[in-house]
């Protein structure tokens, strides 16, 4: 159901401050913690002694200590010690490739030898003082691909988010979908419209009038395994739209890192990166609160959708042209899964005649 040989966001650094964190990623229970040298470690969440969850233990001087019998685990998955016992021969548990970057902790649940830091997504806004970021985390009880469908087709905003970012012009604007390598891009442009409430507030925050027509854009970019970045914004009408000068527009990047937990549950790391009033912490909190309400509405819809799909497993779903972005994203995911399931070629042995 999900590619394994890929980087997924596992958690944020604050979630492992001084304590271990247990989180299931792609069906695999993993414990994350910070080791003595400050680096993040990721191990199978399974004590080799009696199978207890290591995430229920504690971190003591950078060592992970099982909360059941006090086993001390090394970052390499080997048991280091246990009070009054000889444990040197215990088999090692699995250690996962893990990287802390861009304000997130990333894990590679697939083959460790294939983990490559160069495959992490490039985020131009991350670690850039000219940008501000605020976000959150939701646990959503649905197939992660339903969230990708949702983000690659923003037609639903008119109906699900009518009180914040929705407007009828979204329905009326044509959608363009294209594939660029393994990236899928859907875009929609709306010229000469009135900004919805969420964008009115951001126009005012940027010192721009909120009662004048604007040109609005939505550019959704899917990249495997399950990341969606959405360029959104409004500019005063006739000033260049998406290409308008910064003083005439407010724009941002909606950040969506979607991490499968199981076939029907997921971790949703959401946020917004912006390049205006970056030092305004109150504005960051205000945007985060508003965005959180928007995504909670999506959560309610998607969880109900999953319940229906579970109940009616054999019913065929219909597809429209607005679904093209999600459909193409799923094709990429399916191809990656199929490639991982192919048997590895075995080396051929050449026999010499006697």
Q: What is the distance between the terminal CA atoms of the chain, rounded to a whole angstrom?
A: 49
How does pLDDT run across 39-66, given as a tens digit for each residue? 999 999 999 988 999 999 999 988 999 9
| Count of structural domains, the chain | 2
| Within-domain flag for 351 | no
In this structure, the answer to whether residues 198 and 305 fall within a common structural domain is yes
- pLDDT at 351 exceeding the cut of 50: no
Q: Which residues pair with residue 233 across a beta bridge?
A: 217, 251
Last residue of a domain, which of 63, 87, 113? 113
Q: How confident is the model at residue 22 (pLDDT cuts 50, 70, 90)?
A: very high
Residue carrying the six token digits 């609005």: 216
Output the CA torsion 125→127→129→133 (10° steps). 60
Last residue of a domain, which of 113, 144, 160? 113
Nearest to 13 by CA among 98, 116, 73, 111: 98
Domain containing 86 equals 8-113
Please, what is the average pLDDT of the chain?
93
Q: How confident is the model at residue 343 (pLDDT cuts 50, 70, 90)?
A: confident
Q: How far apart are CA 126 and CA 211, in angstroms?
A: 32
Lookup: tokens for 150: 């949702």
For residues 185-214, average pLDDT: 95
Last residue of a domain, which of 79, 113, 147? 113
Lookup: tokens for 235: 């500019």
In this structure, the answer to whether residues 267 and 133 fall within a common structural domain is yes
Q: What is the CATH number of the domain that holds 16?
A: 2.102.10.10
In this structure, the answer to whether residues 174 and 37 fall within a common structural domain is no
Exposure string of 267-277, with b = 16+ CB inside 10 Å and e = fewer, is bbbbbbbbebb
Residues 6+ apart with CB under 8 A from 80: 63, 72, 73, 74, 87
How does pLDDT run across 250-306, given as a tens digit for each residue? 999 999 999 999 999 999 999 999 998 999 999 999 999 999 999 999 999 999 999
HSE of 111, CA atoms in CB hemisphere, 13 A: 5
- Cα-flanking dihedrals φ and ψ of residue 123, to 5°? -120, 105
In this structure, the answer to whether residues 44 and 165 fall within a common structural domain is no
């Amino acid at each position: 159901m999900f590619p394994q040989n890929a980087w997924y966001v596992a958690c944020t650094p604050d979630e492992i401050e001084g304590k271990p964190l247990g989180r299931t990623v792609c069906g695999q229970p993993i414990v994350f913690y910070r080791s003595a040298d400050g680096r993040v470690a990721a191990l199978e969440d399974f004590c080799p002694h009696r199978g207890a969850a290591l995430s229920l233990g504690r971190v003591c001087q950078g060592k992970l200590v099982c909360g059941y019998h006090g086993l001390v685990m090394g970052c390499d998955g080997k048991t280091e010690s246990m009070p009054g016992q000889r444990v040197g021969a215990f088999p090692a548990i699995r250690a996962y490739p893990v990287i802390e970057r861009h304000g997130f902790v990333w894990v590679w649940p697939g083959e460790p030898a294939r983990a490559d830091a160069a495959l992490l997504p490039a985020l131009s806004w991350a670690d850039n003082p000219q940008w501000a970021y605020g976000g959150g985390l939701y646990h959503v009880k649905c197939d992660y691909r339903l969230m990708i469908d949702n983000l690659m087709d923003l037609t639903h905003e008119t109906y699900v988010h009518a009180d914040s970012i929705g407007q009828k012009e979204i329905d009326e604007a044509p959608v363009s979908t294209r594939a660029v390598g393994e990236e899928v891009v859907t875009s929609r442009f709306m010229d000469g419209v009135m900004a919805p409430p969420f964008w009115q507030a951001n126009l005012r925050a940027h010192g721009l009038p909120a009662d004048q027509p604007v040109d609005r854009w939505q550019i959704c970019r899917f990249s495997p395994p399950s990341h969606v970045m959405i360029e959104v914004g409004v500019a005063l009408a006739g000033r260049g739209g998406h290409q308008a000068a910064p003083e005439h527009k407010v724009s941002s990047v909606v950040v969506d890192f979607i991490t499968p937990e199981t076939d029907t549950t997921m971790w949703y790391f959401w946020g917004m990166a912006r390049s205006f009033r970056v030092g305004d912490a109150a504005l960051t909190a205000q945007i985060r609160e508003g965005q959180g309400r928007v995504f909670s509405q999506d959560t309610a819809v998607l969880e109900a959708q999953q319940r229906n799909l579970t109940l009616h497993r054999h019913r065929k779903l219909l597809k429209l042209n607005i679904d093209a972005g999600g459909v193409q994203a799923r094709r990429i995911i399916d191809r990656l899964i199929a490639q991982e399931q192919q048997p590895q070629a075995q080396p051929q042995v050449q026999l010499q005649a006697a």
